[in-house]
Chains A and B, each alone.
Chain A
Amino acid sequence: MKILVTAKRVTDPDVKIKVKPDGSGIATEGIDYKVNPFDEIAIEEAIRIKEKNKAEVVVVSVGSKEATKEIRSGLAMGGDRGILVLTDDPLDANAVSKVLKALVEKENPDLVLMGKQAVDGDNNQTGQMLAEILDWPQACFASVVELVDDSKAKVTREVDGGFDHVELDLPAVITADLRLNEPRYASLPGIMKAKRKKIEEIELSSMGLDTSPKVVWHKFGTPAERQAGEIVADVPTLVAKLRDEAKVI
């Protein structure tokens, strides 16, 4: 069994980013980059499958040379090898899904695992688009994944009002939600081993794909900031204010 899993390089999710004064983008100076937390969950799931069923786990990323670091983190967790598709262009979800499709055709995995969304663009689109253009089934927002004889997957999906249970024939695309698992920390030997694992680099321009954007980001703005209000002394004061001042109860 072979699993392709994504590792997008994103700004540190716990840092509050700022918009550049001229609105041309996000101010990135001094900001750390990490693996998209949802991709980290996908990587963990791939490695758990590998530990149970024997599988090869290929960690892929699309982006700048710096994304080597994010692939290495996936390899340190237990991935076997990496593929980095090199581009400095900002790609939209449609374009990334086309790049991933080309990698799927090259690698023939049984399963593609991805995060349900990246915490920078917050699109929540790429996995679904990839599944459609491959004509594969999808299971998004997975909270439980169970493989049956390496040919099927039973997936529990977190949706509005409860849980959706589906069964998919492999190959398929599964996107991870928060509660699928808790990603491990890479061990020191894991980190050492990852340094020797192979990362293949492919120039996007050599792939012969039309990745021209269908979504173009123009100006960035800052949302209206909320002002901190007042600290009230006690519960009676709070309730009185909610009734008489805010008029919400």
Chain B
Amino acid sequence: MGNALIVAEYKGDALKKVTRAAFTFAKEYTTKQGGEFHILVLGHNLGAVVDECMSYGAAKVHVADNESLANYLAESYAQVVAQVAKDSGAEVVGATASAMTKDLMPRVAAKLDAGMASDIIGISDEGYFDRPVWAGNAIVSAEITSPVKVVTVRGTDFEPAPKGDAGGEKVEVTVSVDLGSLKKRFEQFEEVKSDRPELTEASIIVTGGRGTKGDEGFKLVEGLADLLGAAVGATRAAVDAGWVPNDLQVGQTGKVVAPDLYVAAGVSGAIQHLAGMKGSKTIVAINKDEEAPIFQVADYGLVADLFKALPEMVEEVKKAKG
């Protein structure tokens, strides 16, 4: 039986919560299909994140720490992932579905001549992968028929793996990437800084749409978010208008989220937006148009002008919190 290898994604010195969801996927898969759960962590000057990888019950943690991996490039990372996949006897090579892995994993799949299933949300007893298609309006059961299978895993559909006892074997990976041969150069990462929680990590999200009409309206969205300790989300319309950074976009082609509470203000509820948030536990919609489709998925709808409703909500939440 082959093993399940998960490519870990981290920020700073800590694993992303969504990576821990991919660990849970691998544990579930190996429980059903046999084999061992392995982790691969790549980068340069990896510190505490390696120790953290050691504490999720993986049989092996492969560590590829090399100067040539200091900056992410799909071309170099794919070489290492494919090499480790072969060396570790991986049958499934997976990662959490993120901007990085969406870029990387298909390249890995092609290297291994493997079939790939993106954004999986479950595993069937036959070992097929359930995944949303058509903006989440259908779920298909996808069988990967190649010996090696590549997947990305939705962080919203698997619980983040809890820390367990340290253990397992640490394996140093010999990295032989020739950056000069890649025909691509990393130039710069332009970080968009924010003190708010990340969308995929937050338990509350407040999202603003075109109805916020710009900075002033978005300030109100952010004000409520900060009071609730929430992440800020946006529709494509709000991102396109330049009011907020691109990585706040929630939807079919942005982030997929499922927080405990999702507040959508000035959001119409287009198919593409719903695809990214309709798994949220409780949805609140604030929209002045009572016909807006967002109300069809909202647990609580408020037909109101957000410029009046959001400041009022801040006052009421302050009162409620005492």
Q: B residues 104-125 with Cβ under 8 Å of A? A: 104-107, 109-111, 113-119
Measured between beta carbons, the chain B residues less than 8 angstroms from A189 are none
Most buried by B among A14, A97, A178: A178
- A104 at interface (Cβ–Cβ under 8 A)? no
- Tell me the complex Cα distance, A164–B289, Å: 38
Closest 7 CB pairs of A and B: A214-B115, A128-B106, A132-B110, A229-B299, A137-B184, A125-B106, A239-B316
B250 nearest CB across to chain A (Å): 13
B188 located at the interface, meaning its Cβ lies under 8 Å from any Cβ of chain A in the complex: yes
Chain A residues contacting B141 (CB-CB under 8 Å) are 217-221
CB distance B295 to A131 under 8 Å? no
Interface size class of B (residues with CB under 8 A): 35 or more
Chain A 106-131 near chain B by CB (<8 Å), digits 1 or 0: 00000000001101111111111111
A37 smallest CB distance to B (angstroms): 9
In Å, the complex CA distance between A14 and B302 comes to 25
**Cβ-neighbour of A165 out of B113, B134, B188, B300 (below 8 A):** B188
B271 contacts A249, CB within 8 Å?
no
Complex Cα distance, B150 from A124, in Å, reads: 13
Contacts of A122 in B (CB 8 A): 118-119, 132-135, 252
Name the one of B74, B110, B236 contacting A94, with C-beta atoms under 8 angstroms: B110
- The answer to whether A214 and B140 have CB atoms under 8 Å apart is no
Q: Tell me if A51 counts as interface (CB < 8 A to partner B).
A: no
Q: CB within 8 Å of B: which of A139-159?
A: 139-141, 143, 154, 157-159
A46 within 8 A of B: no
Contact of A120 among B73, B134, B290 (CB under 8 A): B134
List 4 other contacts, CB 8 Å, given A119-B135, A215-B143: A132-B78, A162-B192, A168-B184, A242-B284
When distances are taken between beta carbons in the complex, the residues of chain B under 8 Å from A166 are 73, 184-187
Residues of A within 8 A of B284 (CB): 238, 242
A216 within 8 Å of B by Cβ?
yes
Give Cα A171–Cα B132 distance, bound, in whole angstroms.
33
A179 to B239, CA, bound (A): 9
> Taking the complex as formed, is A236 at the interface, i.e. its CB lies under 8 A from any CB of chain B?
yes
Residues of chain A touching chain B, judged by Cβ–Cβ distance below 8 Å, are 11, 13-14, 16-19, 26, 38, 92-94, 97, 116-117, 119-133, 136-141, 143, 154, 157-169, 172, 177-179, 213-223, 226, 228-232, 234-236, 238-243, 246, 248-249
**Taking CB as reference atom, which chain A residue is nearest B240?**
A179
B146, B190, B298: the one contacting A228 at CB < 8 Å is B298
The answer to whether residues A238 and B100 also contact, given A119-B134, A215-B116, A218-B141 and a CB cut-off of 8 A, is: no
Q: Are A219 and B317 in contact (CB under 8 A)?
A: no
B272: Cβ under 8 A from any A Cβ: yes
Taken together as a complex, chains A and B put the C-alpha atoms of A243 and B302 apart, in Å, by 16
Q: Does B170 contact A (CB under 8 A)?
A: no
Contact B73–A215 (Cβ < 8 Å): no
- The residue that A231 contacts in the complex, of B105, B303, B316, with Cβ under 8 A, is B303
Picked from A137, A168, A177, A249, the residue with its CB within 8 Å of the CB of B321 is A249
* Cβ distance B131 to chain A, nearest Cβ, rounded Å: 8
